Amino acid sequence: MGCLSSHTMERKLSLTKSDFVHKKHGSVRTSYEILDTLGDGGFGVVTRIRERKSGLVRAMKEVQKSKISDDQYHLILNEIEILIRLDHPNIMKIYEVLESPKSYQIVCEYLSGGELLDVLLRQKRFTEEKTAKYIYDILSGVYYCHNMNIVHNDLKLENLMLDSKDPDARVKIIDFGISQYLDKSGLTGQLGSVYYLAPEILTGNYNEKVDLWSIGVIMYYMLTGNLPFRCNTNEDLLEKSKTGKFDTTSRTWIVLSSECKDLISKFLNPNPKNRISAAEAMQHIWFDKALQLSSDSINTNFYTSIKKFQKLNPIATAILVYISTQMLTSQEETPIVSLFKSIDTDGNGKLSKQEIFDACKKFPLLTSEEIDEIFNTCDMDHSGFIDYSEFLAVSMTWNHILKREKIKMIFDFFDMGRDGKLTIPELRTNLIQFTDSQWVDFLKIIDTNKDGVISLEEFRNYLCRLVDE
């Protein structure tokens, strides 16, 4: 396949998704156009907004400071901190946080498919195949959270969104306001929505298995159109959940496959010690039978992208990571997500070196040293794993990025003064990791007419040169 450069091994730049989530003072209305209201609940109003320069559509939750208590304030900060930390294709992305004298404004990805609950209510119930796809998406995100020692604590259909209206839309987990970090002593406090509440929460001591109980309730609801425990009062519901004896008499339950029933029973085991874990659930035989898992593998296009990415200087690398984390649409990400999940054989939401070795078997001419360099190119934060955003950055289709309208969109995004010229201070607003000398060196390369600024043509020519090298 040819020898890979050792440039990556020498690169000292360390990048994570959180480097590109900015916290600013000011109003979202300076950079965004308010389109319409999506909902009014929780701690604030959620609106659909459009970034004025790029035209990208986002969602924004605005929380009025005067309307929240100290406890609610801490829940908002908790959600922001967790969303910034998480990096997974089945968890909602956060882009930036703004604070004005009167409010907090959290800018996240716009999930145009809406709540999964609304889709279910329209269709009444889902097939086993569709349910398997959705549950696998949810488990994938939850397993990743649990590996990060984060328990969601409020999984329910209202907190599951679809990223598009397409039939193969991905589920995205939202609302981490009451999520908690797990330690050896477990968790305390009665949290979450009563219909999805695991029975052990009533004892005041529990762990990550509460999320698996909630998934069991969600799965049962998807397949039957009803909640598993039929009761007249919340008190009766909580008492019945302690027994684990959910309704198995309905016709919609009876027609389910034995494998499907087995997984639900393992989710809704009232003893958390015996309840299935997220890792175990993802290996359940029901998914093999009900779900056609992707068999995508690393191909020549991916290898070519890696080689090109490997040659980039640190600032060019950061620009591409910024594009991948901030500017790709859900539809643009879809084929990359499929490849990522096919390589992620243990389903933990990160790619290990062994998983990359296994995926590269298609290229027998690659040496172990070359595969090592592929891994090190992708592992930009030097964590020992390849996170989703890292994989996304190196897997982007260059031909798509270099479309004229895409380059213009990227250029306009950085062009804060809207004068058709990029200055180093404008670039530094979004790329804060670099020294003055690095920016001087970068300007020498890209500013071909030496006027001290970067024109659209220079920006376009620079990106095109990166592909041709």
Q: What is the pLDDT of residues 114-149, one digit of tens each?
A: 999 999 999 999 999 999 999 999 999 999 999 999
Residue 252 has which token pair? 């919609």
Averaged pLDDT score across all residues of the chain: 87
pTM beyond 0.85, yes or no: yes
Of 45, 42, 109, 115, the residue nearest 76 (C-alpha): 42
DSSP for 28-40, please give it: GGGTEEEEEEEEE
- CA–CA separation, 164 and 225 (whole Å): 22
pLDDT per position as a tens digit, 89-112? 999 999 999 998 999 999 999 999
Q: Looking at residue 187, what is its pLDDT?
A: 67
- Give the homologous superfamily in CATH for domain 114-290: Transferase(Phosphotransferase) domain 1 (1.10.510.10)
Q: Is 65 marked as a binding-site residue?
A: no
pLDDT per position as a tens digit, 198-211? 999 887 788 999 99
- CA–CA separation, 172 and 144 (whole Å): 13
The catalytic residues are 154
- CA–CA separation, 366 and 298 (whole Å): 13
Distance of CA 205 to the CA centre of its chain: 29
In this model, does residue 334 exceed pLDDT 60? yes
Q: Where in the chain is the domain with CATH 1.10.238.10?
A: 7-16+297-468
Q: Tell me the pLDDT band of 220, cut-offs 50, 70 and 90.
A: very high
- CA–CA separation, 380 and 11 (whole Å): 9
- CA–CA separation, 89 and 41 (whole Å): 25
DSSP for residue 249: -
Phi-psi region of 398 (alpha: psi -120 to 50; beta: other; left: phi over 0): alpha
Residue 237 has which token pair? 């519901």
- CA–CA separation, 364 and 360 (whole Å): 8
Are 308 and 469 contacting, i.e. CB atoms less than 8 angstroms apart? Answer: yes
DSSP for residue 157: G
CATH 3.30.200.20, applies to 18-109: yes
CATH of region 7-16+297-468: 1.10.238.10
In this model, does residue 4 exceed pLDDT 60? no
In 10 A of CB 42, how many CB atoms? Answer: 15
Per DSSP, the three-state class of 206 is strand
Which residue is associated with the tokens 């490997």?
310
Are 295 and 342 contacting, i.e. CB atoms less than 8 angstroms apart? Answer: yes
Beta-carbon contacts of residue 313 (< 8 Å; ≥ 6 apart): 441, 442, 445
- To which H or E segment does residue 137 belong? helix 128-147
Q: Where in the chain is the domain with CATH 3.30.200.20?
A: 18-109
**Which of 37-51, 127-141, 255-269 bottoms out in mean pLDDT, i.e. has the lowest?**
37-51
CA atoms within 13 A on the CB side of 104: 20
Q: Where in the chain is the domain with CATH 1.10.510.10?
A: 114-290
Of 347, 390, 354, 392, the residue nearest 372 (C-alpha): 354
